[in-house]
Structure 1
Amino acid sequence: MLRIGTWWSARSIDVVACGWHDGGPGPVETGIKLIYGVGGPVPEFPGLRVGTRAATCAKEIAAALAQGADVVGTAPGCCPAAPVVAAGMWHYGWTRNDLGALAGATVAGLVLVAQPGPCAVEISRDGHGSLDGDVTAARACLAARFSGGRYRTPEVTVPLESVRLSQEAPSRILIRARRPQTS
């Protein structure tokens, strides 16, 4: 399982990807990676390896993480779901062929950034996820983001009708997406 959380700072939405090895194939390293939304230079993070350039999409974020960066800055305009998708690509080794996982992580990323205050989403190897929140508010957030019934990223296009959100517990949302088409 991969846990990805946000905290809100005065200047940006910051994402922390906490990964751990879950017995399957993929990176053996565990720990915390920071994906930091910036409009300028990345601040100093003593003792951490900082990526050399701002990433513009999930693939670039995942590549920087795979190359050993502890901190990756994202360029303005980067898809809000990209950090969650990138964390899955880095941790689980997803490729463009893992459409269901990419779609699930995209939806989870959009729901995550719409939550007020600190929040964490758990993403499984197949891209299904869950987080604390209200399913009605999550559906409203997604409906607003899915222009023409679809959400398009460089990795995947997710049709709104493929998204399944359910209230798993009083404050827990289960997130699923069926296999979509490629971008």
Structure 2
Amino acid sequence: MNMLRIGTWRSAESVDVVACGWRDGGPGHLETGVKLIYGTSGPLPELPGLRGGALAGRGAEEIAALLFQGLDVVFAAPGCCPAAPVVAAGIWHYGWTRGDTGALAGATVAGLALAAQPGPCAVEIWRDGRSSLDGDVTAASVRARLADRFSGGRYRTPEVTVPLESVRLSQEAPSRIGIVLRAHAH
């Protein structure tokens, strides 16, 4: 199964980090590893052996372009859309383009849900944009945090516009929320 797993960890001593783990379930060589996408608001730790760049991506497409360059550590610019690191990881991992509106919309919702959580969490995203959120979460709390981000019932990025009414959350386990979109975004 080809899936992308992305997690955050937060503490008073660290910057906010998204770690993008991946595996390729397709034919041929299996690749595993980690890519780090940092917010630029704090000091960065020493990361010997990892390739990093000095440029910060201002959105999902710029962050993905930096990942495509082979960087292991990428920076998200201040004020960047909170979903951009997750959408960028999906663009990089799956090769999504602007034509993949359903997948981009699903990753946008997953990224917003992940960014809104106060503690460590992870999302798993499939090629079609379906996702799940794992952590200390309930469907009701995730819905409330998402609603705060949807101005006028919609969330707009340069890639997609997602209507809140299309977001379906299901409590799959005590600490796992399924996220699907009923209708595609545009």
TM-score (norm 1): 0.91
Alpha-carbon distance, 1:11 to partner? 4.8
Structure 2: gaps (5+ residues): none
1:148-176 deviation line (CA, Å, top 9, x unaligned): 11101111111111111111122210001
Structure 1: gaps (5+ residues): none
Which residue of the other structure, out of 24, 28, 37, is the alignment partner of 1:21? 24
Aligned to 1:117: 119
After TM superposition, what 4+ stretches of structure 1 lie above 2 angstroms from structure 2? 9-12, 27-30, 39-44
**Correspondence 1:164 to 2:168:** yes
| Distance change >3 Å, CA 35–CA 106, structure 1 → 2 | same
Aligned to 1:180: 185
1:36-58 deviation line (CA, Å, top 9, x unaligned): 00137755421111023011101
Q: Percent identity?
A: 68
1:29-83 deviation line (CA, Å, top 9, x unaligned): 4310000001377554211110230111010111111110000011100111111
Aligned to 1:75: 77
1:124-182 deviation line (CA, Å, top 9, x unaligned): 0101000222100000011110001110111111111111111112221000123111x
The 3-state SS of whatever aligns with 1:147 is coil
**Correspondence 1:144 to 2:162:** no
**Retained in 1: the 8 A contact 2:7–2:19?**
yes
The 3-state SS of whatever aligns with 2:61 is helix
The 3-state SS of whatever aligns with 1:52 is strand
Which residue of the other structure, out of 46, 49, 70, is the alignment partner of 1:47? 49
